Structure 1
Amino acid sequence: MFGKRTKQKKKPPPGNVEIVKGSAYGAFSRAFVEFVQKSSIAKELLDWSRDTFSPDEHYWA
């Protein structure tokens, strides 16, 4: 189920994370994978992105 578009501006991402666009495919280092699995900032970013079109792609797209 997708959320619906609103005119409400989203707050900036947590942890001073900068959202950029890149490739939808990638090879990730063990350190990156461990960061995504264990970091509180990574978990906060996922929570922050839950109401977006494709939350998982904020990590590698």
Structure 2
Amino acid sequence: MLPVRTFVILVVFLLNVPFSGLAQPANDECANAQSLALNSPVDCPFNGVSGTTLDATQDGSP
């Protein structure tokens, strides 16, 4: 009985994982957006965050 239960839990988990990666973030609107504290790569090279807004869409754009 235990292997069947483990298999069912594994299947349900694996079926739900791809959908959680496609979910839109709750903080995707400019109004009432939450600020995030980010570390500069210069100040903290191992925990720094770097990135760009390349290919980002403006608020209201499809």
Q: TM-score, normalised by structure 1?
A: 0.23
* Larger RCO of the pair (alpha carbons < 8 Å, separation 6+): 1
Q: TM-score, normalised by structure 2?
A: 0.23
Structure with the largest fraction of helix: 1
